[in-house]
Structure 1
């Protein structure tokens, strides 16, 4: 049976795809039974923010913690975006409509999810950003394809995050809205740099809305 939808989950800095497999167990609604999950792993490369140490990383990061003023390493981000686009294209070639493909991620993976969705030439089912930031300079909004502006964005961020500052996350949605991109931003008081059950429950509801599932499905 063909998948009803695909979720590409992008992990955070220093993590791996297989280490995130357990996330699937939180999504117990019936409509999720036929959803295909992909958990790719980032390549190993040197990370400036960690004194040049080698680790799994989608792109280089200049400093930690990340603030709204942190410099962006755009060349590396764009290379990573192209890699995610290749994953999306593979699913499209296999017969999945782009508007049934979600790109989601945590921290660095959330930042990459956002950039990948907004620079893809077609409308996707959605992009979900957890504890992420805009990893490109503001001028990138002029490069967002018209169809990509229709991709819905969910952005969740803990207000006690000490790795990706809450203000760095907060700065994203107004920029997107200025570009004509719809973004739902949810702040979680007391939550640090992690994902909790409340966020995942909301993500499942959000998936359901995007896929036209009934509330009890």
Structure 2
């Protein structure tokens, strides 16, 4: 397969000593810039000063559901009609696996730069949330946490076959969040993904926002900030250990 030219991620350096990293993946048709305001929102209370934010950009690819038009995407989507079955039908496994490898590379880049895996959170929205779930749970190092907003677990019918052995992230805290009026990524699909993971012993929680469609709200962003603060506490400057 020909290599894909990718723009470098949008970076928000830590405002204090860099001890942790959040990699947040945008949705279909968006870019990393689309989540810049959310990052500023998470940083506004200066409780994540030691965290560097990495917002990658998906390459433009042809999207079947939009008549083959090219747009930023992590994998192809055959149909967008709000139904759970259409999203699961004819999943673009090759595209998902290619993006999985790219996300794993972003994680490894942070590890190589000196940030331990257990000080890295992987998150995303919509198609980016699907990639954060898939790439996070298949990562070859235990992460601090995984965030999946308005999304679902792709390749769920083959997920068990695709997991690494041993599984490094079976007990990694996973925050899923979804509006129950979502007409793009059906809420029931997100709920089914949550139940699938919960039944298999994953450390997953689901927050539901009544009346919210395929978007994010301030309450949700505040809940994500709280999760990030919990999973990435400031490091004590004396002994280099996270503060309790």
Normalising by the smaller structure, the TM-score range is over 0.9
- The answer to which of 134-143 and 170-179 deviates more is 134-143
Structure 1 ranges of 4+ moved more than 3 A = none
Q: Output one character per residue of 1:148-169: Cα deviation in whole Å (capped at 9) or x when no partner.
A: 2122110000011111111111
Aligned-pair CA distance for 1:211: 2.3
Q: Which runs of 5+ in 1 are unaligned?
A: none
Aligned-pair CA distance for 1:143: 3.5
In the alignment, the residues of structure 1 paired with residue 199 and residue 99 of structure 2 have an alpha-carbon distance, to the nearest angstrom, of 25
For the residue of structure 2 that corresponds to 1:164, the secondary structure is coil
C-alpha RMSD of matched pairs (Å): 1.6
In the alignment, the residues of structure 1 paired with residue 125 and residue 208 of structure 2 have an alpha-carbon distance, to the nearest angstrom, of 15
Q: Which runs of 5+ in 2 are unaligned?
A: 1-15, 235-243
For the residue of structure 2 that corresponds to 1:21, the secondary structure is helix
For the residue of structure 2 that corresponds to 1:138, the secondary structure is coil
Contact 1:68 1:171 in 2 (8 A): no
Is 1:188 matched up with 2:209? yes
Aligned-pair CA distance for 1:128: 0.5
Comparing both structures, which one devotes a greater share of its residues to helix?
Answer: 1
Residue in 1 that maps onto 2:180: 159
Note the 1:89-100 alignment, pairs <5 A.
Answer: 89-100=108-119
In the alignment, the residues of structure 2 paired with residue 80 and residue 47 of structure 1 have an alpha-carbon distance, to the nearest angstrom, of 15
Residue in 2 that maps onto 1:87: 106
Q: Output one character per residue of 1:103-125: Cα deviation in whole Å (capped at 9) or x when no partner.
A: 11111100011001011011111
TM-score normalised to structure 2 length: 0.83
In the alignment, the residues of structure 2 paired with residue 94 and residue 66 of structure 1 have an alpha-carbon distance, to the nearest angstrom, of 41
Larger Rg: 2
Aligned-pair CA distance for 1:25: 1.8
Contact 2:137 2:168 in 1 (8 A): no
TM-score normalised to structure 1 length: 0.93
The count of residues paired between Structure 1 and Structure 2 equals 214
